[in-house]
Structure 1
Amino acid sequence: MSSLLNRFEDPENPLLGPTLWGLQTWGMWQPKPGLAKNLYNLLHFLIIFFIISQYVELWIIRENLEMALRNLSITMLSSVCVIKAGTFVFWQKNWRDIVDFVRHFESYQRRKKDDITQNFLDDYKRYSRKVTVCYWSLVAATVFTVVLTPLASFMSSAEYRMQIRNGTKPYPEILSSWTPFDRTRGIGYILSLVMHALICVYGGGIVANYDTNVVVLMSFFTGQLGLLRAKCERLFENINSYSDAVKNVRECHKHHDLLVRYAKILDSVLSPVLFVYVIICSLMICASATQLTSEGTTAMQQVWIAEYLAALIAQLFLYCWHSNQVYYMSLVVDTGVYQSGWWSQEVRMRRCVLLLAGQLNRNIIFSAGPFTKLSVPTFVTILKGSYSYYTILSKK
């Protein structure tokens, strides 16, 4: 996976190269108008009809709790995928502004050839690549497990195969959706398997690329806040005049102001999506845990559900953890001012430093709608809520 990422490095986008490639491959990043853009948008639109068919199937099988829970967990995740892809395309201008800011700002910093700055840039880029590799691998394993679930279920038990031949049980499916043809036998079953496998690859790509893009951007803000704190500590190093000191203070002020401005833009496109995702994720974790402990669940189904549950929790944790990191760094960035040599400066410079410290008190944190902030305590609260729902369902 690391070798694969190296093939997609972009000199113009040293931080976001692989994620932008993934977003463009799956039709969310659309830098140029044309036929490809229209075809991708048609694909996104067609997937909406598939999601509707999943909800129709959910209504049909609502009396069967086990089947309904399995359908519900997949259908909700599919809905989140469509929301992520749709909002990314719809708010393309805002995403483009954020990407352009990251590219130009890092390019400006690298041209200065400052060793400390280079170390910060390289550190969070290296960290972003590790997270991208791990998360893409996790999503790929999840898609692989989901697609091969019917084959594994069919091969796991001779009795199960006999029941399928006798017609007492249907062939295992990848996903559950309504179709206008018989999908339980023959050509209809093969067509549904192929369609579901392709949709799983589509959904996995949407989730992997959208989430890693967001996590890399959050890592960028965390690293830049750490770099800003280091710059504040060196405010009065190697200065020859009052104007040099004012220039350093002005640069730190502008640095922080840009980070706050573009963090707000990122939050504006993320907040609605994450609000829906946090609600849905609570229900999906609950439904998956209920299926995992159900008496009728086979060993292969338990493996699939456990891997799917791990992917859900990891996905939620990535958002909460990295948002929490940004928030923590925004709280401590002003300590760099107090660790500088401000005490050795004249009164008018101390006033400038005081204004800078006030500017750095503006905190950055990403939200999930108007009701909650993305942080580690929020992650714990969601897990507690999911466990409460699971306890209620398991007693029935």
Structure 2
Amino acid sequence: MFETLSIFSFCCMGNLKLFSLYINIKHWAFIISQMKLLEHEQLDGKLLSYADIAEDYSPEIIAKYTKRYTIVFSILLRLYSVTLVVFVATPFFEYALTAGTGYPHILPGWAPLDDYFLGYILTLIFEVIASVYCVFVHVAFDCASVGIMIFICGQFSLLRRRTEDIAGGGEDCMPNAERDVRAHLRIIESHGTHIVLCTVIKKLDTLLRIILGVYFLVATLTFCAVAVRLSSTLSFMQLVSLLQYMAGSLTQLFLFCRYGDAVFHESSFDMGEGPFGAAWWSLSPRMRRELVMLGAGMIQPRTLHAGPFNQLDLPSFVQVVRTAYSYYAVVGQTK
């Protein structure tokens, strides 16, 4: 029962993610188009008000978070691939080692076609295709979601650097008309970038809120079921498969919470950061007011949610693990 519960929850989450990708394809396309447009403007030098800065750090920061996404994508793909191989191969190794009766199956359940060898082969092909497809649905959804979070964190880091240069630098710190005009353009561009990032966060929160709310509940029950199975007598191959599956689920949950937490912290500019770290004394009173208004809009952190009650952050990850352990303790006492 516990084995079936773990696999059933994984498949149900795959169906939910596939359904979300299918019905919300326009929203996903909108987010990606906004990301692409913003990066092209920064890399093509269309933000002309920053053209006088001696060192253009936009390519460096963009390359940095792109490399980070590449590493995360590689880790996720390898982890899911290894999990898939172990999951598919375990029943056959177990069958060969124990010389069991009947035919081995990847997915537990009712197999009425096992009375005929051809029927068994057709069932096995269906199970392999379903397993591979479900795993790569998880890969596509998780990599897209985490990739957007990494983009948001990187862009807020770039925005922090740009807003610190709003007033410019140099030895001359006296207010003048040229400096005010340049600062005004930079404030407008920074505000526009901030609006785009807030829009992307809001859209992503809408796309992830229900899915991750369900996933938090499913992950809690799954970890509890895995812990219960680990406390029972298992063969070596069953133990390897279970540990691999648990490691994949924990990594998946941790990545969402880790980068959701990063979005929360990167999206808020504290004192001495961003507009609050600009050389406001070299601007006229009017530009100072505009700078204060820009900072007031950027000081509020932006939050991603998992369901109606939980935020997507590291404390929520710890809460899920602790709740799963509490369920396991209760189930262990009743066994």
TM over 0.5: yes
> Which of 310, 317, 320 does residue 382 from structure 1 map onto?
320
1:127 aligns with 68
What per-residue deviation string (whole Å, max 9, x for no partner) do you get for residues 259-318 of structure 1?
Answer: 1112101111111111111111111111112112212x1111000000000000000001
C-alpha distance in structure 1 between counterparts of 2:140 and 2:269, whole Å: 30
1:361 is matched with 299
Q: State how far apart, in whole Å, the 2-side matches of 1:152 and 1:392 are.
A: 33
Across the aligned residues of Structure 1 and Structure 2, the Cα RMSD in angstroms comes to 1.7
Instruction: Look up the match of 1:139.
Output: 80
- Displacement, 1:362? 2.9
Is 1:78 paired with 2:48? no
Tell me, in whole angstroms, the C-alpha distance in 2 between the residues paired with 1:183 and 1:205: 28
CA distance in structure 1 between the partners assigned to 2:33 and 2:330 by the alignment:
48
C-alpha displacement of 1:392: 1.5
Q: For residue 171 of structure 1, what is the amino acid of its counterpart? A: Y
- What is the CA–CA distance in structure 1 between the aligned matches of 2:141 and 2:189, rounded to whole Å? 32
Partner of 2:188: 250
Matches within 5 A, 1:137-286: 137-156=78-97, 160-161=98-99, 163-164=100-101, 170-179=102-111, 181-183=112-114, 186-237=117-168, 240-286=178-224
Partner of residue 52, structure 2 = none
Per-residue CA shift, 1:307-362, capped at 9, x if unaligned?
A: 00000000000100001011111123662222210123221111111101111023
Measured after TM superposition, the shift of residue 76 of structure 1 is 0.8
8 Å contact kept, 1:171–1:185: no
Q: Distance in 2 between matches of 1:251 and 1:184?
A: 69
Q: Residue 333 and residue 102 in structure 1: after superposition, are their counterparts in 2 closer, same or farther (change >3 A)? A: farther
The CA distance in 2 between the partners of 1:252 and 1:191, in whole Å, is 58
Contact 1:287 / 1:390 at 8 angstroms: preserved in 2?
yes
Q: What SS class does the counterpart of residue 114 from structure 2 fall into? A: coil
In the alignment, which of 27, 33, 57 is matched to residue 116 of structure 1? 57
Distance, in Å, in 2 between the alignment partners of 1:110 and 1:359 is: 25
Query: Tell me, which stretches of 5 or more residues in structure 1 are unaligned?
Result: 1-67, 165-169
Q: Scaled by the length of structure 1, what TM-score is found? A: 0.77
Indicate yes or no: 2:254 matched with 1:345: no
Shift of 1:184: 6.8
- Partner Cα distance (2:247, 2:88) in 1: 17
Deviations 1:76-99 (A, max 9, x none): 110000000011110111111101
Cα distance in 1 between the residues matched to 2:323 and 2:116: 40
Aligned residue number for residue 289 of structure 1: 227
1:92 equivalent in structure 2: 25
**1:190 positional shift:** 2.5
- Write the letter of the residue equivalent to 1:301: Q
Instruction: Report the identity percentage.
Output: 29
Q: 1: CA distance between counterparts of 2:270 and 2:45? A: 22
Which amino acid is the alignment partner of residue 149 of structure 1? T
Q: Give distance in 2, aligned partners of 1:303 and 1:293.
A: 14
Q: Distance in 2 between matches of 1:183 and 1:98?
A: 47
Per the normalisation by structure 2, the TM-score is 0.91
Structure 1 residues 248, 378: CA separation in 2 closer, same or farther (over 3 Å shift)? same
Distance in 2 between residues matched to 1:100 and 1:177, nearest whole Å? 43
